[in-house]
Amino acid sequence: MLSSFSAQWFTAYYVVLGTILIGYGVYLIAKQHAMAGYLRDVAENTEKPPRAFRSVLKYLLLFTIPGLILSFFPFSWIELIFSIWCLIIIFTVGQMLVQWKVVSSQILAVGGELHKKIRFAGINMISIGVVLFMLCYILISNTR
């Protein structure tokens, strides 16, 4: 019973997160100059990190914790490593948001190179999305 729910959870998680990452990766590549302008504006005018960044981390954490627990029913190295990887990403980005004053000064210091970093992030998001679809395929193949 729990193993079936675990497989369904990770299948949905991989598909949804993969779709979101590919979609936002394409968006970042297409609108990298607009995103660079937005980040510069936020870095110049606010003391707190953008609310959207905090919300994304919060919801990623809310989905990662059940995934971490479900990776033990039945035990799966792939799902466990994926859940730990998500927690590391949450921790790393969370540190950046806590140190927003430093990060915002770095955003302003990068200047014209910011759009290249945004394009790089978009390409990484697309590649991670593709990997998530491959993980979903492996999961579906193993549960048949």
SS (H, E, C) 98-138: HCHHHHHHHHHHHHHHHHHHHHHHHHHHHHHHHHHHHHHHH
Comparing 112 with 53, the larger pLDDT belongs to 53
Supply the pLDDT for residue 74. Answer: 84
Supply the pLDDT for residue 50. Answer: 87
Supply the pLDDT for residue 2. Answer: 73
Residues 115 and 36 sit within 8 Å (Cβ to Cβ): yes
**Neighbouring residues of 105: CB distance < 8 A, sequence distance ≥ 6:** 43
Supply the pLDDT for residue 18. Answer: 95
Tokens, residue 102: 């430093």
pLDDT bucket at 24, cuts 50 / 70 / 90: very high
Neighbours of 33 (CB within 10 A): 12
Query: How far apart, in whole angstroms, are the C-alpha atoms of residue 125 and residue 137?
Result: 19
- Between 24-28, 90-94, 107-111, 125-129, the lowest mean confidence (pLDDT) is in 107-111
Mean pLDDT across 11-37: 94
Q: Which residues of 40-52 are buried (b: 16+ CB within 10 A; e: fewer)?
A: bebbeeeeebeee
Confidence check: pLDDT of 75 > 90: no
Supply the pLDDT for residue 137. Answer: 95
Read off the pLDDT of residues 32-51 as tens digits, 9 standing for 90 and up.
Answer: 999 999 999 998 988 888 88
